[in-house]
Structures are given as C-alpha cells and as structure tokens.
Structure 1
Amino acid sequence: MATNILRTRPLWQKLLASLVLLFVALLLVLMFFPWDVLREPVNRYVSEKTGRKFEITRRLDVDLGWRAATVKFDGIEFANPSWARDPYLVKADRAEFDIRIWPLVTSKIVIPRLALFSPTLGLQMEQDGRRTWAFGKDTSDGGTVPSIGLMQIDSGAIDFLAKHLGVDLHADVKYDTSLGAMPLSYRIKGRYKGQPLTADGSTGNVLQINAAGAPPFPLEINAAAGQTKLKASGTVAELASLDGVDAKFQLKGQTLGALFPLLGIALPQTSPYALSGDLSKRGTLWQVAGLKGKLGLSDIAGDMRFDQATQVPYLAGDLRSKVMDMDDLGPLIGLPPTSRSATAVEGVAPPPSITQVRRPAGAKVLPTAPLDFERLRAMNADVKYTADRIQNVREIPLDRGSVQVKLKDGVLTLDPLDLGVGGGKLAGAIRIDAAKNPADIRASLDLRGMQLARLFPKLETTGNSVGRIDGRLNLSGSGNSVATWLGGSSGDVAVLAGRGQFGNLLPVFATLVGGDIIKFLLRGDRNVELRCAAVAFDVNKGLMTGRTLVVDTTNALFTATGQASLANETLNFEVHPEPKSKNILSLRTPLVVRGTFGDPSGGVAVGPLAGRGLAALALGAVNPLLALAATIETGPGQDADCKDVVAGANKPTAGAAAQGAARAKGAKQP
C-alpha cells in the first residue's frame, strides 16, 4: 500500500525526496569520511600550486560546517620560496584554521581564525613586491594573499626581513596563562630602519590581524631603537593596518629629528626630549592628546594630529611652553645642544657633540652644520607654537614668543613669527623653499618699540630711560646652512633709536673725552640726551656695508664707516667721535673695531693718535704744561639732522641690496 502511495505522488515530490536522501547520505559520508587519506594528495596539490614544498607530517582532519570548515593539521611544514632567507614560511607541531567555503569559488582565501602551536615563521618581503606569505607561483602582488582574522599562538619564533625598509627582526614568543589577560609575552631583537632595535612586552594570545567587529586586544611594549626609547600600553583593534589604537605612551630620545627615519614624521632637530600622552589611530589619522614633557630645559604641551590619507602626509597641532630656554633653540639652526640642555633629560645619553662653555679660538660663530631640507618634502604641516616666557636669554632680552609653522610641497614658512623683545615686538616671517638646492631662504622681520635699557641692563638699573629702538631685517639668498645662507645673502638691515637719556659714563669712555672723565669723577653722574641713532647696512652677497652709522647725543656726535663680512665673519669699522664742547685732555681720535665675530678687537686709530702724541712730546720739552695744548678739543661737532639720518637709514641703496630686500619681503603673507 505504501508503494502505491509513492507511486501516486507527483514527480516533483519524488525528486525532492531523492535529493534529501542524497544530501543526508553525503553528510553521513562527510561526517565519517577518513580525511587523513587525503593527506598525501593535499600535500602534492598544494606543493604543485604554490611551487614550494607543503607537507602535513602526521595527520589531517576536517570539521565541516554550513559556511566554513575547520581544518586541523597534526604537524605542518610549508617551505618558503627559494629566494627567501628562512627555509620555512610555517613549521609547527600543530595548526588549525577556519576557512570560509563560498569565497573559495572565486579563488579567495578567507581565514577567520588561525591557531599555531609551537610555530616558527619566516616572513620576508622584497622591494619588487614579492612576499613569502603570498600563495601561488607568483609571490608578488599578483599572488593570492589570504585574509586572516584572528591569529592564536602559544609559543614560538617569528623572523621578519624587509631589506628595502631597513627591517630585520627576530621575535621569541611565549605563552603563559599565569600572566592573566596578556598571556603572550615577546622579545624582539634586530634592526629597524637601519637602527638597532630591542623590544619586549606582552599581549593577548589572540591577535586580531584584520578581524572586523572583534573586541580590541591588549598590548604592552617597551622598545628602544638607537637612542629612541618607547613605552606604551593600550589596545589595538587590527594588527594588519595597525588600526583602532588606544594607548598611553612615554617617548625619550636625543632629538625629535631622529623620528623621521623611524616614523616618517619630519620633526626638527631638538635637544634631548621626554614626552608622554594619549595615542589613538582611526583609519589613516593618528592623534596625540594631552602631550606633555620636556625638550631639553623647556617644557612642552599640546595636541598633535598626523593624517596619512593623502599621498603626502599632513601634520597639524597646537603646542605651548610655559617656559622656553634659549639653549634649546640651537639645534633648530644647526648648533649642537649646550651641555645644560644635553643633560637635562634623565635617562637619555647626551649627544656625542655638545657645545662648550667657552668657544674655541678662531671658531665660527654662525652655524655651519648643513640643515636637512630633504625631509621637508616628506610631508605637509601646520603647527602653532607659543612660549609664554623665555629664559636664559643672555644678551638678547626675549620675553615671549609664538610662531605658526607651515609646510607645503617642500616650502616651509614661519608666518606669523612674533617675539617679545625688550618690552617691544619682533614680528615677521621666514620662508625656506626646500624644493630648490641650495634652498631659497628669505627672512623679513620688523622690530618695534624695544627699550634700549633692556638691551643694556646696567643702564636700566640706573633708572635712566633711553627711549625705544625700531629696526628691520630683510635678507634673501640661497644656502643649506645658516652660515652659507647669510654668507651669500643680499638685502637691508637697519636699527633706529629716538630720543632718550642715559648715564654719562657710557659716551665718556666711547669718545675718550678726558675732560669729561675728570668732571664725572669730581661732580658725579649727569644725564646725556640721545637725540637720535641709526645703524643701517646694505647687504650684497654677504658683505654688510655701512649705509648710515650715526649716534647723536647732546655732548658728542658719532659717525662710523666700515664693513662686516657674513661669509668670512670679519669686522672692519672706524668710529669718528665729534665732541660738542670744549674739553681738555681729549684725544679726539677715531676708534677702530676689527677682528672676527668670535673675537672682535677695538682700539684707537694709530695714525691720528701718533700725531697728537708727537705734538704733546714736542711742547712738553719746552714746558710740560704746554703739552696739554695738544689735547685741547675745540668742540667742532655739530648736531646731526635726525630727519635726514632716519631717511637715509630707511631706504637701502639701489642695486643688489634693494633687490634682495624686496625678495625677502615676499616671505610675508599678503
């Protein structure tokens, strides 16, 4: 009767029942299939397809599911390509992995989970794109690269070599459940970006290579590359792209400039530093929040962002120092850090070369160290820096400072640059075009309202007011160091001073008016009024020629002529004092200033002084009292026309100086 029922059913029901029976039978076959019989065929097939030896050494087993299968290898050896240094890509006591079934139809290998037990891994990549983990006979970008989600390792060793990146690392990993949430410890040794690297730390035993949606895994690291030291702890979501990073870090080193080969961030040369903060990464954007620490003797704080979304990475930030020490500015212009700043950071060895307290005789004053402009092409930037107070300023009375640093397509601009100087303000811009070799450098700075008493603290303590100083510097030229740029620059330099008063002692010694010295000793100090002063130079290819060199006071007029060579760092000036009163014991003799920037010398001109000396000697032979006649000053000095003095100082002479000054002014934003 049952047979009759089946016979009476429609054909489609008969076909469906047959398919169900067939599928159940297939499932039963697969469930009880002796997968190990396929071990040798699988070994031969994978070896043929990849062009390198693959062997499951002991047993093969498979657990099938609807969407994925779990493959278990008891003993595995998978050789590397012949060009690789290490003989094996993977060699392990056991391995198992989950593999998605349906992507295999399109030749995609998706492995959500990979577990290796006591493995040794030999990873290597070449500049031409070859990678040992690319499957197929073509191991370049055309090879099949599996997508791995989670990786689980108990204990083993990993080697990674990428000569073109300067990377050659060996890592030993060890699994220990007593370590709690981070049972996998590691030790790394080798070279990174050409520098020796050591590192150790711990992490979770399940690493997320590129598993989307999985919880982040914990990671701790303590690393040293050269003189750069890093401590960090936090979590990472994806290891392959190093995405989803949230960590706290501490970073130390001899100079921030050393981070360029390590991280690709073009930071300036600095004094030794120690920084800490909160680091995060989402996609291509790295961010540092709550950055704080020291750069030499200066404190630093702020926030930074580094975006790798575009072909040229972009750095932005806002930094501030409560106190900035002048010794820490030297490395920015090619000078080594001083001994004070080089030893200011605990745990960082000072650089091999630091400046001495006393400059060696004959040493150059202008920095000659080549500035590394090549790295300026590696990224774009917009960073603002502010120093609330500047200390250790020595002869330059800097109070505070701020600068906006912009870098675009190899052109670096410091604009606006704003410094508080002696109660006044120095503002302007500096532009460096590193796309050219040597670099095209332009500087345009204006000084407004600096108090002269702040430049000479001894005058300030007397209670004298010496008025204000205004000035400017407009220089342009080419060079790869501060010295070569200044040595070939052209433009205009000028300093102007208005009315004020200062103690009598300074002009007395400057003019060698002997009678005034006697009056000062007998009657005490008295004030001398400064009518005006102008010191202006035309600069032509590093040679500074005095255009207007005038200081006019109520008791003397000083005019000077001469030159200073920025290329040779030499001085050659002659100062002519013109007293405005009749004085006895005056030598009214020109003063000369010569020598070098590092070792200037001064004195009286020998010729005029010798003439007066011979006259005094001859008269003294007749009567010693008559010898005083040779030193009587009739006071021919006249007041300077301050309007004409300022007008002359305010305009560079036509030619190279005027052209250089005009080019320098182009450094400022319109």
Structure 2
Amino acid sequence: MDFPPKTVPPQEKAADPAEEQPVGAESATETPSTGRRLSKPWRIARNVVLGIIGTIFLAWLILYITKGRFLKHPFERTVAAMTHRAVKVPGDFQLYFDPINIHFVAEGMTISNPAWASKPNLFEAKRIDTRIATFPLIFGNRRIRWLDMLDGAIDLEWSKDRKSNTWTFSEGKGKPFEMPLIRRATVSGTTLRYVDPRLQLSVDLAFQTIKASDTRFENTIQFTGKGMERTTPFTLYGAMLTPNATVTNGKNQLEMHIKAARTAIDVSGTLDAPTRIEGANLKVTARGTNIADLFSIIGVAVPETRSYRLDSALTKVGDEYRFTGLKGHFGDSDIGGTLTVAMLEPRLKITATLATRTLDIVDVAPFIGYNPDEVAARGKAGVIKQVGGAPRLLPNATLRVESLRNFDAAVQYKVRSLRAKSVPVSNIDLTLGLDNSLITLSPLTFDMARGHVSSDIKINARQRVVHTDYDIRLSPTPMGVLLAGYGVDEAGTSGTVKARIQLTGDGDTVHESLSTSNGRIAIIIPAGSFWTRNVQLSELDIGTFVQKMFEGKLKEPVQINCGLIAFTVRRGIAAADPILIDTKKNVILGRGGFSFRNESLDLALRADGKKFSLISGQSPVGLNGYFAKPGIDVISPQLLTRAGAGLGLTLVASPIAGILAFVDVGDAKSAACGPVLSGATARAQRTTMGEPRDDVGHGTTAKAEDGKKTSGERKEQRKKFLGVF
C-alpha cells in the first residue's frame, strides 16, 4: 500500500538551520551575536569591577561628606592593635581621601610609650593636620605632602639594655629613627626628648617654628635645649643649615654648640639623617680650662690639665665613636693622634694612640697628682703643702676609684722631648691599660741623660684598699749628664750610675701608698771619676780640700772604685742598707734613713781615709730636714767635740798635741766591689780580704708610727745617727 509523503510543518523546518542554510553560512550568523553579548564569566567580572568602583566611590563619597569622623574609634582600636600601644584622639578626628591623598586631622592625639619608658607618651600634639600620598604608602614609603602640627611633643627613648626603643613598634632590636619625606610643613611649639641609658644621656630640644613649601624649608631648622650627661648638666643650641636635604635624601648640614662643666664644644658637618650620627662626617672642637672636665661628662677619669683646645673629625661606626686627626694643646704642650670610644657592655672602652712633640714640665704635674695651675704660678713652691707644720712634697691627690669602674682603656702615648731646665728626659713611651679597675703602666720608659728608665707599675683598685706595685729601673747612665743641672761638672765626671726601685704599698694616693710600702731601693755606682769638690765637701777632709784649692786643681776628679746607696723599706720607713762608696783614697759610709710617712730625712755620711791625713775632720755630715726642704749639717757635734779637745790639748800641752785631735791614721778597709755592684744588702758586704764588714748595717730609722717625734726622741735619734761613728 502506498502512503503519501509525510508533510513537515513549516515551524519544524525553521528549527533546523542546517537544512535551511548552506554550508559556510554559520560564521555569518554567529559573529554578530558575540559582539552584542558577553559570555557569562566576562559578565561576572564586569559586574564585580563596577561594584568595586561603585563601592569605592560610595565609600569615598561617604568619607568626604562625613570627613571620616565616624572612623575615630575603629582607627584607635586598629592602630593600637598594630602598634601594641594605647592610641587616643579626644578631640576632632578626620580621615578621608581628598581627593586621592589621605587627609588626616586629629586634635589632642596621643600614642603611648611602652611600660618601661619614663614618659607616658611617645607622641602627643594639640593638633595635627596632614596629607599623606596614598599609593607610595601602600608600598611602605611615607611621603607627607602637607604637615601642620601645633604644640607637638615627641619622646625618643632607648631601653636600659638598648635592645628596644619607643619608636620601633615591632618586636626585635630597636631600629634607628628615620624621618619621613615631607613636602610642605608648618610646625610650631614642638619639643623632642631623647634618652639613652647606656650613655646616661638625656636631652630636651625645643624647635622654633618651621615652615616648608614645595619640598623646601623656608628657613633653617633652629633648636635650643638642655640635658644631662651622667651627673653633668649642659645646654645647647644649633641649626640644620640645609634642611631641604632631608626631603631629597641628601646630606644635612648641622651646626651645634654645647656648653657644660666649664667646657665648650662646637660641632659642624653633615648627617645622613637629622637624628642619625652613623656614618656622619663631623668636625668637633672642644676647649676649656681643664680637660678632666670634658671627660667627666662621660664618666671617664683623666689627669687634670691647664687650659686646652682639641680639634678632631668625628664619625660613628657601630658602637664606636671615632675621633680621628686629633690635634691641639694642653697648657704649653701639644698633642695629636686618634681616640675611639666604644659603647660596650658592661663598661665603655677608650682606645687611643697619642703623641706629643714637646711636653712642658709643668704639664707633667697632674700626671703625678699635682695641680698644674699652682705649679705654673708658683714653681716648685706649688707642689709643697704644709701638713702639721712640716712641708710635704709627695702628691696626695686621691685616685678616682669610682670613675675607674665606668670604663676600660688601652692607651699608647709617646713624647719626643720634655721641656725642663734640670731634667734631661726625652722619648717617653707609655702603655696604659685599664681592665676592670686594674691599671697597668707597663711599660713606661724614657731616656734620661743618655741612660734609659723602664718601669712597670700596677695599681689594683679592684679591692677595697688600692694596692700598688712599683718596679722602676735605671740603666747605666753618665752621672755628669744626669747631675749637670745640679752643678756637677760633666767634664770632670766619667762615672755612671744605675738603679732599681721595687716597692709595694696600699692606699689611694701616692703619699699613702709609699707610707705603707715595703721593698728596696738601690743605686749602684760602677768605677769612674767624680768632681773632687763635691766629694771633698762630704768627706770634710780639710787638708786635701785646701791643698787642692791652692794648687788650682779644684776640679781634679776623685776616682771611684764602686759604690752602693741602698735602702730597705719597711712600712714606709727606709733604712740605709748599706751606703758604701769605695774611692781611691777613702771609704764613704752612711747611716740613718728617711720616712715616706712624714717625709723626714735623717742621714749621716762620713769618709774614712785609706791613707794618713794630717788634718781631717773625721766627722759625719748630716743630711736632715724634709724631702721638700733638706738641710746639711756640716759642723756636727762630733766635729765640735774634736775641736774642743784639740783646743784643750793645745792649751795644756802644745800646738802639736792639738793637731793630733784631727789626724786620720788612714785605716779604712777597702770594699769588695762584687757585693756592691750586685746591690747586696749590708749583711752581704765584704772587705777586699773577704771579711764581713762591721761598719755598715747598724743604722736606725725613725720610730714614730704616726710620723711625729717628740723633742727627746729627735735628740736621741740624732745621737744614734751621728754617734755610731
């Protein structure tokens, strides 16, 4: 059965475009549809962007209309959470975009300090009005386009351990303070406080009104202030002469003047940042009446000086303040070199290399405890004090033990020559160390009269009572050169001398230390010659002296075989042990001693002839008085007794009998030079025959423990000193 063909409805035919359109027509129909409609992801992205822009605009509009005043409390909470500080704005508050930059206004705003700080707030201001560049801030760059601050107060303070500071909000080591970039500003009534416990420094600065526009300050930034360094108050004033360098990341030209403790300090140069001395290039000039005042500002004890002036370059590297190219003068002496102050724990440390071309003798005075101004004004009298009616020469300046605990030191000091009339000293070389209150002057060397002195001195201030060890050595030195300033004829003296002083004592002054000292002093004289007149005066060999005087041979030298002037020191009392000088014609012997306690002298010297002498006093010469005022007793009681005996014999017998009272039979025993030249004690001394000497080692010294003697004791002492011969 045949069926008729199926008829397809027209609407169904239209639904099959493949059948209705020829091949290649698809692209022609789809392309216009894509240009009119976005795919679904693109439509979502578009809507999100439009939503964000709308939201931002809406937020901007709301903020602009309301000035963002409703954000005050969220701002306080957010900033407080980020900084871990309390943030308060009790007055007007504005925070909005104007139109792009952030416009911030706060009245009475405060940001608190951490609990350890000494001030409650890091920052406070009566009013602050500022515009901050938005996009640079997103990347961590603070660019302030406008700043208007009234009655601001900033507190910059380091913690005691110097690990934290008030302006570093994150945990970890405190960072240096960095100024933001400011394009325009007006700042008035602003103060800044800086505190550094390690330096024991606090300073309060007040700034004059500062105006800036178009990245340039309209005037210099001037400031005044006052502060305290340890226990020393100071004042200062200064200015940043090129403040526009701050906003261009350039160098800041600084000029500052400080006055403290009779000291004036001028600072000029450039800083990388206004509050950063790291890497600075500064010039410092310090001047005053006493350099000890300058160093006392940082708690460092140095000897006092006369007026001084020092110039130096200054920079800071890490914990070190470096003074280089240092040059200047103190008193009539010059000085130069380098000095570094390192802020270390537990004590700061001073390292210095210093040199002086010419050191004036007056400027040496404070190094051993004398007042240089008194020495300069009064000469020798300036070092003598009256104590209990007696003159005192040894310095009594107290060692500053407390100051020594504040620092350590390593100092190298050299002096080319010493300016002095009677002291032929040059090439001084001192190495000073200070380690936890232990001072070492080791070595301390210098040349003296073509000889050399080397010393090692140790002062231990770690214990309750300061203890000092002295070891001073003089190499063989020509006596003529050494004593030329005291009237000895160098041409007639060829002998040499060497010496050693070894003492230990307790006390915080030179006088106290020596007053309690124990040890030995020895001066050794090898073979040589000495000017006749000086020896003859000590011998009182009248016949020989007069004979040589009439013969015109007054300066004929006396030949010395060997000699030893030695003292054993016990509790500050020195006893001759021995005094023994062997010459070609005589043996000179000495008894007695001296006291470091009251600085008294009580010595007797006598010469016994080796040959017969017709007229000889045969009587000791007394050396008495004090270190500061010695006396010579040429006419001793023994000589007067001999003169009386001679006069009596002359009257009752004959003139010849009177002369016999002054005859010296010449029985002196020559000394064995071996023990003498080795500096041996009196007990070890021998004659040339090898026999023990019985004419040395029997002297006595002052008995009084307190350095005072009664009139009867003095007479008894004198009798013993001069009567043992």
Counterpart Cα distance in 2 of 1:617 and 1:651:
37
Conserved 8 A contact 1:192-1:225: no
- Aligned to 1:287, the other structure's residue is in SS state strand
Distance 1:581 1:78, change over 3 A: same
Distance 1:383 1:432, change over 3 A: same
Q: Does 1:513 align with 2:541?
A: yes
- Aligned to 1:149, the other structure's residue is in SS state coil
Corresponding letter in the other structure for 1:20: V
Q: 1:1-20 alignment to 2 at 5 Å?
A: 9-11=39-41, 13-20=42-49
Which of 53, 57, 61 is matched with 1:28 structurally? 57
Q: Does 1:316 align with 2:351?
A: yes
Corresponding letter in the other structure for 2:419: Q
Q: 1:545-556 alignment to 2 at 5 Å?
A: 545-556=575-586
Counterpart Cα distance in 1 of 2:588 and 2:272:
73
Which residue does 1:598 correspond to in 2? Answer: 628
Distance 1:650 1:636, change over 3 A: closer
What is the Cα deviation at residue 607 of structure 1? 4.5
Conserved 8 A contact 2:304-2:371: no
Which of 261, 271, 292 is matched with 1:257 structurally? 292
Which of 605, 616, 624 is matched with 1:575 structurally? 605
Which residue does 1:346 correspond to in 2? Answer: none
Counterpart Cα distance in 1 of 2:296 and 2:65:
51
- Aligned to 1:480, the other structure's residue is in SS state coil
- Deviations 1:616-651 (CA, angstroms, capped at 9, x unpaired): 231233455653332233233333222222234389
Conserved 8 A contact 1:182-1:203: no
Q: 1:106-185 alignment to 2 at 5 Å?
A: 115=147, 117-121=149-153, 123=155, 134=166, 148-150=178-180, 154-158=187-191, 160=193, 165=200, 167=202, 169-175=204-210, 183-185=220-222
Distance 1:100 1:472, change over 3 A: farther
Q: 1:84-95 alignment to 2 at 5 Å?
A: 89-92=123-126, 94-95=128-129
- Deviations 1:455-474 (CA, angstroms, capped at 9, x unpaired): 32155545123322111122
Distance 1:104 1:572, change over 3 A: farther
Q: Does 1:490 align with 2:525?
A: no
- Deviations 1:593-616 (CA, angstroms, capped at 9, x unpaired): 233222333315855234313312
Which residue does 1:627 correspond to in 2? Answer: 658
Distance 1:573 1:3, change over 3 A: farther
Which residue does 1:445 correspond to in 2? Answer: 472
Which of 494, 517, 532 is matched with 2:562 structurally? 532
Which residue does 1:376 correspond to in 2? Answer: 404
Query: Of the two, which has the highest radius of gyration?
Result: 2
Which residue does 2:691 correspond to in 1? Answer: none
Distance 1:280 1:177, change over 3 A: same
Counterpart Cα distance in 2 of 1:273 and 1:356:
20
Q: Which moved more, 1:503-512 or 1:554-563?
A: 554-563
Q: Does 1:416 align with 2:453?
A: no
Counterpart Cα distance in 1 of 2:244 and 2:515:
57
Which residue does 1:356 correspond to in 2? Answer: 382
Corresponding letter in the other structure for 1:315: I
Higher relative contact order (CA 8 A, sep 6+): 1
- Deviations 1:204-255 (CA, angstroms, capped at 9, x unpaired): 575999x9x9433221111111112111111122455532221111111343
Q: Does 1:399 align with 2:426?
A: yes
TM-score normalised by length of structure 1: 0.80
Corresponding letter in the other structure for 1:504: T
Counterpart Cα distance in 1 of 2:377 and 2:651:
64
Counterpart Cα distance in 1 of 2:299 and 2:451:
39
Counterpart Cα distance in 1 of 2:385 and 2:430:
30
Corresponding letter in the other structure for 1:636: D
- Deviations 1:503-559 (CA, angstroms, capped at 9, x unpaired): 211012112221123213311222211222211222233222222211222233211
Which residue does 2:27 correspond to in 1? Answer: none
Counterpart Cα distance in 1 of 2:609 and 2:211:
90
Q: 1:246-395 alignment to 2 at 5 Å?
A: 246-263=281-298, 265=300, 267-308=302-343, 311-339=346-374, 356=382, 359-360=385-386, 362-392=390-420, 394-395=421-422
- Aligned to 2:414, the other structure's residue is in SS state strand
Counterpart Cα distance in 1 of 2:244 and 2:467:
49
Which of 425, 435, 448 is matched with 2:452 structurally? 425
Counterpart Cα distance in 2 of 1:292 and 1:563:
46
- Deviations 1:63-101 (CA, angstroms, capped at 9, x unpaired): 697xxx745337555487899789995335544375999
Which residue does 2:266 correspond to in 1? Answer: 231
Distance 1:515 1:88, change over 3 A: same
Corresponding letter in the other structure for 2:125: K
Conserved 8 A contact 1:247-1:278: yes
- Aligned to 1:356, the other structure's residue is in SS state helix
- Aligned to 2:445, the other structure's residue is in SS state strand
Would you say how many aligned residue pairs link Structure 1 and Structure 2? 631
- Aligned to 1:257, the other structure's residue is in SS state helix
Counterpart Cα distance in 2 of 1:97 and 1:342:
66
Distance 1:357 1:334, change over 3 A: closer
Structure 1 alignment gaps of length 5 or more: 344-353, 654-670
Counterpart Cα distance in 2 of 1:587 and 1:23:
125
Distance 1:134 1:359, change over 3 A: closer
Q: Which moved more, 1:87-96 or 1:415-424?
A: 87-96
What is the Cα deviation at residue 416 of structure 1? 2.4
TM-score normalised by length of structure 2: 0.75
Counterpart Cα distance in 1 of 2:596 and 2:36:
110
Which residue does 1:194 correspond to in 2? Answer: 231
Q: Percent identity?
A: 21
Distance 1:282 1:28, change over 3 A: farther
What is the Cα deviation at residue 21 of structure 1? 2.2
Conserved 8 A contact 1:417-1:427: yes
- Aligned to 2:286, the other structure's residue is in SS state strand
Counterpart Cα distance in 1 of 2:322 and 2:283:
12
Counterpart Cα distance in 2 of 1:174 and 1:122:
16
What is the Cα deviation at residue 301 of structure 1? 0.9
- Deviations 1:555-611 (CA, angstroms, capped at 9, x unpaired): 332111223222332222222221334334422112222332223333158552343
Conserved 8 A contact 1:243-1:281: yes
Superposition CA RMSD, Å: 4.4
Structure 2 alignment gaps of length 5 or more: 1-30, 685-725
Q: Which moved more, 1:545-554 or 1:644-653?
A: 644-653
What is the Cα deviation at residue 289 of structure 1? 1.7
Conserved 8 A contact 1:237-1:245: yes
Distance 1:143 1:613, change over 3 A: closer
- Aligned to 2:382, the other structure's residue is in SS state coil
Q: Which moved more, 1:322-331 or 1:78-87?
A: 78-87
Which residue does 1:645 correspond to in 2? Answer: 676
Counterpart Cα distance in 2 of 1:124 and 1:640:
79
Conserved 8 A contact 1:362-1:599: no
Q: Does 1:608 align with 2:646?
A: no
Counterpart Cα distance in 2 of 1:144 and 1:319:
35
- Aligned to 2:601, the other structure's residue is in SS state strand
Counterpart Cα distance in 2 of 1:144 and 1:359:
55
Counterpart Cα distance in 2 of 1:478 and 1:10:
99
What is the Cα deviation at residue 325 of structure 1? 1.6
Counterpart Cα distance in 2 of 1:4 and 1:591:
135
Corresponding letter in the other structure for 1:490: N
Which residue does 1:454 correspond to in 2? Answer: 481
Corresponding letter in the other structure for 2:440: T
